A and B are shown apart, each in its own frame.
Chain A
Amino acid sequence: MNKRVRLGGMGAFCLLCVIILLLGMSLGSSGIGLNTTASVILEKLTGLQTGAAPDKAQAAIVWELRVPRALLAFLVGAALAVSGVITQSVLRNPLASPYTMGVSAGSSLSAALYMAVGVLLPVAGRLGLPFAGFVGGLVTILLVMLLASAMDKLLSVHTLILTGIVFSLFISAVLTVILVLFRENLQQVLLWQMGSFAMRGWTYPAVMLPFLLVGLVIALAFSKEMDILAFGEQAAMSVGVSTVSVKWILLLVSAFLAGAAVSLSGIIGFVDLIAPHMARKLFGPEHKVLIPMSALCGGALMVLSDLAARTVLPPLELPVGAVTALIGAPFFAGLFLRNHKRQGKGKAC
């Protein structure tokens, strides 16, 4: 792709993401227009007033509910997408996602234990539940990698995927046992698992942002290694990549991002799978471009999914995880079929 065309495309895509974010902040059941939303945001950010001052209630809805909600959705989507890029690259599998490695299962178990046992974490405050979910996801990936490493020092892709799947299944079984033992928490756990950005306030996006920035910078720092890993472990090692240490770092970063996202919003699938594919299709597979563009793509997709979740069946609000699954599952099936056909013709993804 011509460099200028690609840069122009990236600029246009950034603009589109900003528009989607603004739409996410504007549209909703209370009928607040785009102009009001824009003037509230402008006033809050710069102190400048444009036209008539918006109604206080409307300003509160925009600034206290919609803006943080849309921002959280965007940040979570971006984090999941970057996590997806990393996992797909390290596992050399375009159909892999951080959930393949057991992050979501670990977070769910940890969050369910937190809800069931009701342990209070005074330091974490209202972030106790997300904190528990984050730790669960990270501990799970550590265990997966340690076990995989014990079986196969080179951490080959097949060992990693199999260990991740086995761990996910095992943890899901433990989760089921816990839900049976603590039935009174069943609904609460299930609701958390379905994912939502409702009523999170400013704290959650403020917590998510540094996680995303740190993960993004580390992922970008390893973009060359991720490119090379796409050709396989042997090829990567012979070009000079220390594959084992790079895999450790990247999979931990992937879990760090996915764990933070899952813990703050619940389990929202498919964005981590779809966003990297869309970005790859639009901007190519080079990771130094793919990583930031996937982040934007994931953020925009999540904002649109959340928008659909709260506006399709008013006054009901669908779990955002259900919306992403409704869009993602057919996408996933289509991708699988396309890959299958291409492999039949001797071509790869």
Chain B
Amino acid sequence: MLSIEDVSVGYGMGDVVHNLSFTVAQGEKLCIAGPNGCGKSTLIQALARLLPYKGRICLDGVEIKSIPRRKLAGEVALLTQIPALYFSFSVKHTVAMGRYPHVKGRLSGLSKEDWDAVDSCMEQMGIADIAERPITQISGGQLQRTLLARVLAQFPKVILLDEPMNHLDLTYQIELLEHLERWQRKENGVIVAVFHDLNLVRSFADRVLLLDNGHMAALDTCDRVLSGKEINRVFEMDVAAWMQSALRRWEK
């Protein structure tokens, strides 16, 4: 479904991500892991076509550069960490912005079908009861669910996650993961995620792409990558031993 062929991404002063090639199958959850500065977010931004890249990124065989941005947003959606908010839109209006890729006509508003889709996404996320509340007056968890509802309102095939759990407490993190897994099972969609926390990676991913200074260090099932030698080399520590010792301390 999503194929990445010899992709390099940078910011003008040299590449940060180097010559990556891999594919993500329909219904798969792939997590990108690695230490700070290894190029995880850069890669996610290239997959969302927010950054220029070399090589080819194809969605169902079509190079995403050739897809108009508005159309692409109807196929691929991105959820990032909570942005700074300057204006207090209502929850419902914020979710309705996700229908932008599907709205025809510059001066026309949303159709009844669009509003039905908005209501349905709010129902799924459990935020229908706060639909009229300003987004500046809801909790971080409710806000991130609102932003996820906006992502779902795009009706994407692929959801990209760029550390959306940052600044959320544990309950909200678990809640968000459950919503995402429910969507993935229902739609058989693709999720490519960047999480800092390896525990989240372990509990969520089908496969893990481990990056080391922008190069692919490993790409395999979650268990193999997280307990393999490469992750210790990349993080310069015995990751599995540390996680096990943390678990033992917890059990005591």
Residues of chain A at the chain B interface (Cβ within 8 Å): 1, 92-94, 220-222, 224, 227-228, 230-232, 234-235, 237-242, 280, 284-286, 288, 347-349
Contact = CB atoms under 8 A, between A and B. Distances in A.
Given A220-B107, A224-B100, A238 B50 contact: yes
A133 to B, nearest CB: 31
B101 A240 contact: yes
A285 B89 contact: yes
List 10 tightest A-B contacts by C-beta distance, closest first.
Answer: A240-B73, A238-B78, A240-B70, A348-B85, A285-B87, A240-B101, A221-B106, A232-B83, A230-B87, A239-B100
A231 B69 contact: no
Interface stretch (B23-31, B90-98, B200-208): B90-98
25 contacts: A1-B132, A222-B106, A224-B100, A227-B93, A228-B97, A230-B86, A231-B83, A231-B94, A235-B78, A237-B50, A237-B69, A238-B77, A239-B77, A239-B98, A240-B70, A240-B100, A241-B70, A242-B70, A284-B90, A285-B89, A286-B89, A347-B136, A348-B87, A348-B136, A349-B88
Secondary structure call for the B interface: mixed
B100 A230 contact: no
A133 B71 CA distance: 41
B234 interface: no
A100 to B, nearest CB: 15
A286 B69 CA distance: 23
A349 B88 CA distance: 7
Contact of B73 (A221, A227, A238, A285): A238
Residue among A228, A239, A347 with the most chain B CB within 10 A?
A239
Contact of B101 (A92, A232, A239, A349): A239
B184 interface: no
B4 to A, nearest CB: 18
A328 B93 CA distance: 31
A288 B89 CA distance: 12
Interface of B: 45, 48-50, 69-74, 76-78, 80, 83-90, 93-94, 97-98, 100-101, 103, 106-107, 109, 132, 136-137, 150, 154, 160
Given A285-B88, A286-B89, A286-B93, A239 B73 contact: yes
Nearest to B83: A232
Contacts, number: 90
Secondary structure call for the A interface: loop
A221 B72 contact: no
Nearest to B73: A240
B67 to A, nearest CB: 10
Residue among B78, B84, B86, B160 with the most chain A CB within 10 A?
B86
B50 A240 contact: no
A93 B83 contact: no
Given A234-B80, A284-B89, 16 more contacts: A93-B86, A94-B87, A220-B107, A221-B106, A231-B97, A232-B83, A234-B78, A237-B49, A238-B78, A238-B160, A240-B69, A240-B71, A240-B100, A242-B69, A242-B70, A348-B85
B89 A227 contact: yes
B101 A234 contact: no
A284 B101 CA distance: 24
B95 to A, nearest CB: 11
B107 A227 contact: no
A262 to B, nearest CB: 26
A284 B90 CA distance: 9
Contacts of B78: 234-235, 238
A224 B107 CA distance: 9
Contacts of B90: 284
Contacts of B98: 239
A230 to B, nearest CB: 5
A94 B86 contact: yes
Residue among A1, A285, A286, A347 with the most chain B CB within 10 A?
A285
Residue among B80, B100, B154 with the most chain A CB within 10 A?
B100
A313 B76 CA distance: 63
B180 to A, nearest CB: 16
B86 A348 contact: yes
A234 B50 contact: yes
B215 to A, nearest CB: 25
Nearest to A346: B140
B74 A240 contact: yes
Contacts of A348: 84-88, 136
A290 to B, nearest CB: 9
